[in-house]
Structure 1
């Protein structure tokens, strides 16, 4: 086994922590948006459009715009669907029903599915240390989620919908690694993926607004009776810009399994925010679950995080 060096783990670890922090913030912004009367589709779609403009503007200034070829177009569309549009719409819509804390916990589940997929596809060999890291991280998240599900008056449909998002995210983790366009850099891929996902959500809103005018949950309308909805979209736009730029750096340097741990980091950040700032009841077992998640991240970090 290769001796660990600073370059092996510092970039993946810094990217993991940074992406996880912005992910935890995004989850709680979704709850604030719901409280401000913002439809989940409108909040997500306009935030993605804004973050696309930010990253594309930075790329244009640096002459690093994403190349538009058949391969990159496929990559942007598929990764935009399974990595951003579908899972985020599910999670953002679930926040008002099950709480930001539970949604933050749900996004900690992809590591096991991603790890199993990577093993089945021969993307990495079985290693006891890495398997233990995934097991600890998933165990911590599972403990927190199980205790949440034991609470009375839980909305079963939205619990299932929330827990389906990690499966979609795991598919995205594997796909983006397998189909990474040759020679492409993270700052080229991020705006393309966000642009594709934003256009998908705008299309959903436009079509359902035409065909199903009475279905308010598909609305793209942003309330303008006060400044809160617009300010929340701007905040989410900034969070997405940093989150998805770091996301591709993490993908490149850490690989799909290590990247999948960002949900666990997001849970450790998002749950305390939901409790301390949004007034949600602290989940049972938070301390034990957080320790297990941190131990799992450590086992996958120290050494070669990618190990592929």
Structure 2
């Protein structure tokens, strides 16, 4: 999962290299995901659930796990190096813990609070006055990039809290991706961000297709992991995402990083390590539906 998600970072950089805008890219990314997961779902003999409780789930995942974070991700990818984007993704558990505590998904511990402090320190090293980004102006895009992991953390915690209404990960991501297509298509057309990948199918379009396929499979695994082990534990995958993202960016984009960037990475990893998952790996309950309250709650 970490290797696949990490590879999507430099692929995103390649996808935006010719000026493709976020909404158009997101729409076609969702098209690839729907085609891939729809085929897998059909081969398994599964159906797409269309009840009201499922649409609330699909909407939450479409917005918090795909459309909104990908907008911020692509906007930041236009300006930031792939390695920096990968380091930013390490902040998923940093955001996940306070949300988990607020929702009652996890228990407070001082060790975790210290871990959050390390995570914040790593972010400061990336955007502070002495940051070693290739261009000082890039620092302004780090907060934009951070909105993506914050939304991923929100989505993971909501799934951990309310479950997936009995749907498996493939069904869940398929439904959310279909709804995401409905949301992004008119927005892309109205905002002038529409992308026609068939007009000139080259490296950016190929990178988009590969990234989308990886994203669909890896994201389904992530939702499954949230359900099995909790949102904070699932967010630990950011270790591997970050490590592989940096390595893939160095290999595919020939990126090299200053000492402060490596220091920020190390501190972020320490912070992530200290944000420990809950001790018991219990599946999340499929009911009640998102936004409802359990009896006696």
Aligned to 2:99: 117
Paired residues in the alignment total 282
1-side partners of 2:170 and 2:198: how far apart? 32
* Structure 2 residue runs without a partner (length 5+): 285-297
TM-score by length of 1: 0.78
Cα offsets for 1:7-41 (capped at 9, x unmatched): xxxxxxxxxxx1x3222211111111122453333
SS at match of 2:196: coil
TM-superposed deviation, 1:231: 2.0
SS at match of 2:231: helix
Aligned to 2:173: 190
TM-superposed deviation, 1:142: 5.6
TM-superposed deviation, 1:205: 0.8
Give 1 or 2: higher helix fraction.
1
Aligned to 2:27: 45
Does structure 1 residue 247 correspond to structure 2 residue 222? Answer: yes
Counterparts of 1:166-245 in structure 2, within 5 Å, are 166-209=149-192, 218-222=193-197, 224-245=199-220
Call closer, same or farther: CA 1:226–1:83 in 2, change over 3 Å. Answer: closer
Call closer, same or farther: CA 1:144–1:305 in 2, change over 3 Å. Answer: farther
2-side partners of 1:302 and 1:84: how far apart? 24
Does structure 1 residue 72 correspond to structure 2 residue 54? Answer: yes
Call closer, same or farther: CA 1:304–1:42 in 2, change over 3 Å. Answer: same
TM-score by length of 2: 0.80
Give yes or no for contact 2:122–2:265 (8 Å, CA) kept in 1.
Answer: yes
1-side partners of 2:17 and 2:165: how far apart? 43
TM-superposed deviation, 1:78: 1.6
CA RMSD of aligned residues (A): 3.0
* Structure 1 residue runs without a partner (length 5+): 1-17, 210-217
1-side partners of 2:127 and 2:241: how far apart? 14
